[in-house]
Copies of this chain bind each other. A is one copy, B any other.
Amino acid sequence: MDISWDDMRTVMCLVRGGSLAAAAQELGLNYTTVARRITRAESDLGGKLFDRLADGYQPTDAGLLVASHAEQMDRQVDTLMRELQGRDANLLGPLTITAPQLLIAHVLTPVIDQFCGAYPDIDLHVRATNDLLDLNRREADLAIRISRDPGDSLKGVRLTAQQSASFATPALARAIADDPTSPIDWIVYADYAAVPKNVDSSYPNHRIRMTFDDMVAIRAAAQAGLGVARMPLFLGHASHGLVQVPVLPPQPYPDIWVVAHRDVWAAAKVMAFREMLVPFMRGRRAQFVA
């Protein structure tokens, strides 16, 4: 009784994905190959691992058992890859970084450009997303994050403090200045569906006009003159058609960090990027705090 390690990986992916097609995509294979490997694994182990139902492969208890051990093996492989990467002294090959979309668009573009110019043999992949990619699973090698601490198994340095403030169109800003007591329409973030605290007491009336779950949309709404939005200073200042309004004085906002997994922190490519990024961000402190 023996089983191929790759077949175990296949079982794991099939349990994860729930269908042959999904597993095949994760493995970069054709789904018929996945089906054949599952059949082979079952005959090797001498028992069914999946029930073939009309809507997909349903793992049996034995299948789940195999998959759970394969998950452990998968973590070993991830760790190995990170450790090998951390030992890599070469400044060539792939490097994947991730950062929030708007930070890339309005702040990081120059340093990314500078980096690509300085290290032409490194092919840089930039994943601009608001999702926190899993650095354990090597979804990215290095991340620039807006948060209050670097995180569990990650290592990081703080790039800069940040503040937020209120922004609106010039026309709306004038209207508010003319009549501070009129109700102020807010466009707020879904996670924080309330008028910001610490608003200036000169503006007593507030109401929430709309709630978005995306900062790009919030900014667009503010630019359309639909109301006042709270956003980090760097974003408000960089947005055409928006001016800062004194409704909300500059407030503390989560810091910007550069983080990486401990294992890859010392990798040459990761270090090279950090050494360019840190002074770049430190020199632009004025963009982030008043």
A76 to B67: give the CA distance in the assembly, Å.
11
A contact patch SS: helix
A45-B84, A46-B93, A87-B62 as given contacts; A5 in contact with B73, CB under 8 Å: yes
Instruction: Report A61-98 residues with CB < 8 Å from chain B CB.
Output: 61-62, 65-66, 69-70, 72-73, 76-77, 79-81, 83-85, 87-88, 93-94
Instruction: Report A23-79 residues with CB < 8 Å from chain B CB.
Output: 45-47, 61-62, 65-66, 69-70, 72-73, 76-77, 79
Docked-complex contact B76 and A80, CB < 8 angstroms:
no
Output the nearest chain B residue to A46 by Cβ-Cβ distance: B93
Output the nearest chain B residue to A73 by Cβ-Cβ distance: B73
Looking at the assembled complex, report how far the CB atom of A265 sits from the nearest CB atom of chain B, in whole angstroms.
Answer: 17
1/0 per residue A269-287: CB within 8 Å of B? 0000000000000000000
When distances are taken between beta carbons in the complex, the residues of chain B under 8 Å from A88 are 47
Q: A6 at the A/B interface (Cβ < 8 Å)?
A: yes
When distances are taken between beta carbons in the complex, the residues of chain B under 8 Å from A3 are 77, 81
Q: A4 at the A/B interface (Cβ < 8 Å)?
A: yes
Q: A231 at the A/B interface (Cβ < 8 Å)?
A: no
When distances are taken between beta carbons in the complex, the residues of chain B under 8 Å from A81 are 1, 3
Output the nearest chain B residue to A81 by Cβ-Cβ distance: B1
Looking at the assembled complex, report how far the CB atom of A112 sits from the nearest CB atom of chain B, in whole angstroms.
Answer: 22
Docked-complex contact A4 and B6, CB < 8 angstroms:
yes
Looking at the assembled complex, report how far the CB atom of A10 sits from the nearest CB atom of chain B, in whole angstroms.
Answer: 10
Looking at the assembled complex, report how far the CB atom of A13 sits from the nearest CB atom of chain B, in whole angstroms.
Answer: 12
A6 to B70: give the CA distance in the assembly, Å.
13
Q: A99 at the A/B interface (Cβ < 8 Å)?
A: no
Docked-complex contact B77 and A8, CB < 8 angstroms:
yes
Docked-complex contact A84 and B62, CB < 8 angstroms:
yes
Output the nearest chain B residue to A62 by Cβ-Cβ distance: B84
When distances are taken between beta carbons in the complex, the residues of chain B under 8 Å from A46 are 93
Q: A62-B84, A70-B76 are in contact. List 12 more A-B contacts (CB 8 A).
A: A1-B81, A4-B6, A5-B5, A8-B80, A46-B93, A65-B80, A65-B84, A69-B80, A72-B73, A72-B76, A73-B73, A73-B77
21 contacts between A and B (CB under 8 A): A1-B81, A3-B81, A5-B5, A5-B8, A5-B73, A6-B6, A8-B80, A46-B93, A47-B84, A47-B88, A61-B87, A62-B87, A65-B80, A65-B84, A65-B87, A66-B80, A66-B84, A69-B77, A69-B79, A69-B80, A73-B76
